[in-house]
Amino acid sequence: MRKFRFGVNLNSATSHQEWTRKCRAAQSHGFDVLTVPDHLGVQAPFPALVAAAAVTERVRVSTFVLNCAFWNPVLLTREVMTTDRLTDRRLEVGLGTGYVRSEFDKAGVEWGTAGSRVDGLERTAAELTRLLDHPRELGDTQPPARPPLLIGGNGDRVMGLAARHADIVAFTGAVLKRGATRGTLQLLDADTVAERVAYFEKTAGDRAPGIERNILVQAVVVTDRRRAAAETLCRRMPHLTPDQALEAPTVLMGTVKEIVEQLRERRERYGFSYVSVHESAMTDFTPVIEALAGQ
């Protein structure tokens, strides 16, 4: 069984000083990975990761995840190779399809279909890994180095891509709300996530044990009133019952001790050893990291 790793998804900063403070705070809170999303309206991922690595010593840095529709695979490979070197090989590369239609529209990028977006992810993953293994094709004479590759998503084809190419698979634990243009997500219940994990394991076959599994937790509530917290969440997520909310792998509610036990149980059930949270939960999640250190 893999030991736990913990990541925090950081938001934008208005200055170098603020970004430095956030990154150092995340490291001091015990997080293992600092991650940056790829959305319009927030910082560009690669400069942010280089800056994060420059003001920290221990933590790894990761894109979480790149919208492949925004990236030419050859130019992306150059960004990855440069960032990997400037971060002292602490980089992890996360790839996804993108899911916020309004951002595609603003960028002048064709939204297409779910299938065409997965086609783009597949092309990017294959070409990126090929070029990283053969950097001389880009005129790079240094020995090849390939950072760990994370592929995130939920559907069958993305799970298949992760099974073939990824070092880390990130289960979104959510689906895009029908008709949403701004990326509104609906959380999946525990049984649905279990089915996704089973599908991945079957598809990955012999590779499955060697692929690390990540889950991004959307809500962390430290409380001694779990039921009341779940009922409050369900007002925003009416497709879930309070019982389903309490069991959803993307939700952590309860005392620190209860949350620690939830994470142990979910590692046992789903294999989720790499757990990510949003920046807003960074402080509340620190006692959980301390309780699970080295486990």
How far is C-alpha 227 from the chain's CA centre? 28
Answer whether 33's CB lies under 8 Å from 6's CB: yes
Q: Report pLDDT for 181.
A: 76
SS3 276: strand
d(CA 6, CA 13): 21
Residue 185 has what pLDDT? 86
Question: What is the model's pLDDT at position 178?
Answer: 81
- Which residues, 6+ apart, have CB-to-CB distance to 212 below 8 Å? 2, 5, 167, 168, 169, 273, 274
Relative orientation angle of helices 156-165 and 190-204, to the nearest 10 degrees: 40
Q: Which of 38, 35, 130, 24 is nearest to 92 (CA)?
A: 35
Q: State the pLDDT at residue 143.
A: 86
Q: Do residues 203 and 157 touch, judged by C-beta distance below 8 A?
A: no
Decide: 40 and 66 in contact? Cβ < 8 Å: no
Per DSSP (E only), the strands in 11-85 are: 33-36, 60-63, 66-67
Which residue segments constitute the domains of the chain, with CATH numbers given? 5-217+255-292 (3.20.20.30)
Q: What is the pLDDT along the chain (295 residues), one digit of tens a residue?
A: 999 999 999 998 999 999 999 999 999 999 999 999 999 999 999 999 999 999 999 999 999 999 999 999 999 999 999 999 999 999 999 999 999 999 999 999 999 999 999 999 999 999 999 999 999 999 998 888 899 999 999 999 999 999 999 999 999 999 988 877 787 889 999 999 999 999 999 999 999 999 999 999 999 999 999 999 999 999 998 999 999 999 999 999 999 999 999 999 999 999 999 999 999 999 999 999 999 999 9
The tokens describing 201, both together, are: 């394991």
